[in-house]
Amino acid sequence: MTAHTNCPLCQSDGGLVLFRNAFLRVIDAQEADYPAFTRVILNRHVQEMSDLNQAERGGLMSAVYLVEALQRRHFQPDKINLAQLGNMVPHVHWHIIARFTDDKHFPNPIWGAPREAANAPDGEHEAARRNAHIRQRVPAYHEDITQSFTALLAETTDPVPEQTRFEQTLHRIING
Ligand SMILES: [Zn+2]
């Protein structure tokens, strides 16, 4: 594994680590406006998804979908945004962001313009109320991330979770 000295995701965890194995880590992004914001980060320095082999791509996306399902379970968001940009940090990482129609930027990407006050006169207040509600649920969500990832991936060096168990886990999380 080559760690790049000028890459923040090679030099640090990039946030609070909720799960880590040899292949990837799941972190709390620690974004004030989006308390449920989670990232899945490949441990080694790779710039593009197409630099990975098929199993690695599958394993990474399974992790993204597991986080997505857990956000659905804990927050019932209006939408979940999955994003892989890497313009600032060209080291493969996925953003998983629970979105609500009353959050700070909806319907724009969280990196876009905030909602216009004219369109949402009570916007700031709504977003603050929304975040207070989410923050109460974050500890249980984080605990569930750690437990769910550990159950699926801790005992294997394979980047891909066992298919049947993974599908059963997703189904159970989404359907209760
Ligand atoms: Zn890197």
Find the domain containing 84 and state its range. 8-156
pLDDT band for position 12 (cuts 50, 70, 90):
very high
CA 1 to chain centre: 23
Q: Residue type at 2?
A: T
Whether residue 109 is contained in a domain is answered as yes
pLDDT band for position 9 (cuts 50, 70, 90):
very high
Phi and psi based region of residue 103 (left: phi greater than 0; alpha: psi -120 to 50; beta: remaining):
beta
- Residue 125 CA to ligand 1 center (angstroms) comes to 38
Domain count of the fold of the chain: 1
Whether residue 23 is contained in a domain is answered as yes
Whether residue 172 is contained in a domain is answered as no
- Residue 8 CA to ligand 1 center (angstroms) comes to 6
Answer with the residue of higher pLDDT: 110 or 157: 110
Return all residues near 88 (Cβ < 8 A) that are at least 6 apart: none
Whether residue 3 is contained in a domain is answered as no
**Can you give the pLDDT at residue 126?**
81
- Residue 47 CA to ligand 1 center (angstroms) comes to 8
Q: At 169, is the secondary structure helix, strand, or coil?
A: helix
For the chain, strand residue ranges (E) read 16-20, 24-28, 38-42, 79-83, 93-99
Decide if 153 contacts 21 (C-beta within 8 A). yes
Percent of the chain with pLDDT over 90: 78
**Can you give the pLDDT at residue 96?**
98
Q: In this predicted model, what pLDDT tens digit does every residue of 48-78 receive, in sequence order? A: 999 999 999 999 999 999 999 999 999 999 9
Q: How far apart are CA 167 and CA 90, in angstroms?
A: 30
Which phi and psi angles does 65 have, rounded to 5°? -70, -30
**Can you give the pLDDT at residue 116?**
75
Q: Which residues pair with 79 in a beta bridge?
A: 99
Whether residue 24 is contained in a domain is answered as yes
Which helix (H) or strand (E) covers residue 129, if one does?
helix 123-153
Q: In this predicted model, what pLDDT tens digit does every residue of 116-138 receive, in sequence order? A: 764 556 667 888 888 999 999 99
- Residue 15 CA to ligand 1 center (angstroms) comes to 14
CATH number reported for the structural domain that contains residue 31 in this entry: 3.30.428.10
> Mean pLDDT throughout 26-35?
95
- Residue 1 CA to ligand 1 center (angstroms) comes to 10
Which phi and psi angles does 42 have, rounded to 5°? -65, 135
Q: In this predicted model, what pLDDT tens digit does every residue of 79-99 receive, in sequence order? A: 999 999 999 999 999 999 999
Whether residue 52 is contained in a domain is answered as yes
Whether residue 165 is contained in a domain is answered as no
Whether residue 169 is contained in a domain is answered as no
- Residue 136 CA to ligand 1 center (angstroms) comes to 33
- Residue 28 CA to ligand 1 center (angstroms) comes to 18
Answer with the residue of higher pLDDT: 16 or 130: 16
> Mean pLDDT throughout 32-58?
96
- Residue 48 CA to ligand 1 center (angstroms) comes to 11
CA separation, residue 97 to residues 22, 30, 39, 59, 90 (Å): 24, 12, 9, 19, 19
Percent of the chain with pLDDT over 70: 95
**Can you give the pLDDT at residue 118?**
46
